[in-house]
Chain A
Amino acid sequence: MARIKFENVKKTFGKVYALDGISFEIHDNEFFVLFGPAGAGKTTILNCVAGILIPDEGTISFNDQLMNLVDPARRNVAMVFENYALYPNMTVYDNMASPLRSKLYKTDENTIKEKVNGAAKMMKMENLLERLPSQLSNGQKQRVAMGRALVRDPNVFLMDEPLAHLDAKLRNAMRTELKEMQASLGSTCIYVTHDFMEAMALGDRIAIINKGKIIQVGSGDEIYYMPTNEFVASLMGEPQINIIPSTIKAEGNKYDLCFDVLGKEISMEMPVDEKVMAKIDELDLRCADIGIRPQHIQYSFEKIEGYFKATVYSYESIGNKSVIIADCGDYQIRMIAPNGLRVQIDSDIYISPEVEKSIVFDSGSKKYIVRYDEETVKAFATKQEVR
């Protein structure tokens, strides 16, 4: 139950900036997800909140109270470590009871028993309580680590990829459970993950981190529909968004999108959207990267008027659907297809991108410029924030 505020926090390890001027604010009772590629600085942020690391510069405060020099023990945070960090010489029960037995958070043994059993039940591991950590599988260890955090009533839960080593079924179940539990406990939670499904499903808000910097903070939909740059766009979504480097030719009220496919220049008329056209005129935009999600690519194996020709690079199943990747010369286009198609590699495929659902990025800075239907999307994406 705390608001957490980072102001211009910097942390270096040797000459490497792990955190390079990070500022953000986490609201009370918020489920805040830190999302980014490996080595982005997500765990470093968690360690700074926990007090394990002390930032070189900047301030960290809980409820407007400066925390920089407060001991980890006195911050009242509960943390789930990525490598579990269980005490090898204690049983699962004692591991989970350990925070409640420390001097600071002393609780009587009956309450401890109740809480540990409650957490164990939730994690479905009542039968493991007498075991030692060395007798557990990785998924079980992870659940013990979660349990050790959940027995407490902290200012903030810090979770460093707590579901990463669970099997898919348990992971989905725990994801739902976790969200529900956080809502009922009414506690702030900072959650590190590199799984975008998890980020979207759990996060009230998501912060995208890369190279020690915050790239974007927003609700899942905001980030998905209006990514601040191409990096964020490519991070969110599986399969990855298609980026087509293009030029825009304007003639009066008509705008043509031109791009290169297998050495041939393709020209398509851009659908009219006032905001997009206004932005193009305002910036006098001539070069742009067009981002289109794979589900917005139409394709056919027969020639259709208005579709351009490319060759099939690969066809692979991702469960309930498949992904076709088409080779277009300098770049590739991914699209969603049903399972069970008979697709020959290197055969011709005819493609039509739905430009009216695309995002326009600056081709130089790779930053977001505008997207089709921006108003509708904005209304939809921000609606969730007013809770």
Chain B
Amino acid sequence: MMNTSKQRVLTALMNILLLIYAVFALFPLLWMVMISFKADTEVFTTTFIFNPTLANYKEVLFRSNYARYIIDSLIVSGGAVLVSVVVGVPAAYALARYNFPRKEELAFQILSFKFAPEILVVLPLFMLYQKMGLYDSYIGLIWVYQLISLPLLIWVVRGYFEDISVEIEYAAQVDGYPWYQIFFKMLIPLIKPGLVSSALLAFIFAWNSFTFPLILASSKVYPVTVAITKYLGTDTARYGNLAVAATVSALPAIIFALFIQKHLVRGLSFGAVKG
């Protein structure tokens, strides 16, 4: 009797705590969405009652280049993830399977791309990009985004490859399969959870990247993260438009994440555990 009532109190307490956390985490988002429906005059009111308007959405989505910014972001982030997958999966395979001198150092070097803050490397990169003609180009941004997406992908997928016993590949060879079929038919299905989840995370990180596109791109390539700042004028901040831009820019990542939520949790923890 004591036990069950005690347990009930405990569960109730936990639920309250979770609720507080949920409000804490979601309230800013909610507020952002609310602002996006408010007219400029009402932006600073702190009540939940207001006259909803779609003026901000019309302004941002139809009367500015916002759609183009979204497409730019999709091209750059999607391209970065694509390059990372094409380069990273074979690299991860090599790091998992072959022994070559300084293998661990190389793997660590790849990981170390993520160590330095972006702001630290962005200035020299800016100068290099100016000289090389990569400044303000899709290729330039896709390239620099590899610093964000490639290490993540290689390290996750490498763990998955290491978990597959090499005899499975031998068995497939003996069964008469050529190497490309072994790779695509036997190995890719086995690493798929890791590949999907790390690719998604890489996409989100690339999408949210701000420092690189801010400094390495200007007019021709304009990802949303940078575009949002346009609504912060020198004299006024147009909060309504800003909220719309932020809300819309958060959508792709949320949609993707919801789609493969299951993979995400299972995928990242699966490769690491041996056995």
Interface residues, chain A, with chain B CB atoms under 8 Å away: 47, 50-52, 71-73, 75, 77-79, 81, 83-89, 98-99, 102-105, 148
**Can you give 7 contacting A-B residue pairs, CB < 8 Å?**
A52-B173, A72-B174, A79-B171, A85-B171, A86-B168, A87-B186, A103-B177
Task: Kindly list 18 other residue pairs between chains A and B, CB separation below 8 angstroms, not including A73-B176, A85-B165.
Answer: A47-B170, A51-B174, A52-B170, A72-B170, A72-B174, A77-B174, A78-B174, A81-B167, A81-B171, A84-B167, A85-B170, A86-B168, A86-B171, A87-B171, A102-B177, A103-B178, A105-B175, A105-B176
Q: Which residues of A contact B178 (CB under 8 A)?
A: 73, 103
Q: Which residues of B contact A84 (CB under 8 A)?
A: 167
Give the docked Cα–Cα distance between A81 and B181 (Å): 20
B window 156-174: CB within 8 A of A? 165, 167-168, 170-174
Assess the B190–A88 pair: CB atoms within 8 A: yes
Q: Which residues of A contact B173 (CB under 8 A)?
A: 51-52, 71-73
Q: Which residues of B contact A98 (CB under 8 A)?
A: 172, 175
Q: Which residues of B contact A72 (CB under 8 A)?
A: 170, 173-174
Q: Which residues of B contact A99 (CB under 8 A)?
A: 174-176
Tell yes or no: B101 within 8 A of A by CB: no
Would you give the shortest CB distance from A376 to chain B, in whole angstroms?
44
* Given A89-B190, A103-B181: A81 touches B170 (CB 8 Å cut-off): yes
Q: Which residues of A contact B175 (CB under 8 A)?
A: 73, 98-99, 102, 105, 148
Q: B176: which of A52, A83, A104 is its contact (CB, 8 Å)?
A: A104
Give the docked Cα–Cα distance between A196 and B149 (Å): 55
Closest to A88 in B: B190
Give the docked Cα–Cα distance between A75 and B170 (Å): 13
Tell yes or no: B189 within 8 A of A by CB: yes
Q: Which residues of B contact A71 (CB under 8 A)?
A: 173
Would you give the shortest CB distance from B169 to chain A, in whole angstroms?
8
Closest to A71 in B: B173
Give the docked Cα–Cα distance between A83 and B168 (Å): 9
Would you give the shortest CB distance from B263 to chain A, in whole angstroms?
15
Give the docked Cα–Cα distance between A98 and B189 (Å): 15
Give the docked Cα–Cα distance between A84 and B178 (Å): 20
Q: Which residues of A contact B189 (CB under 8 A)?
A: 89
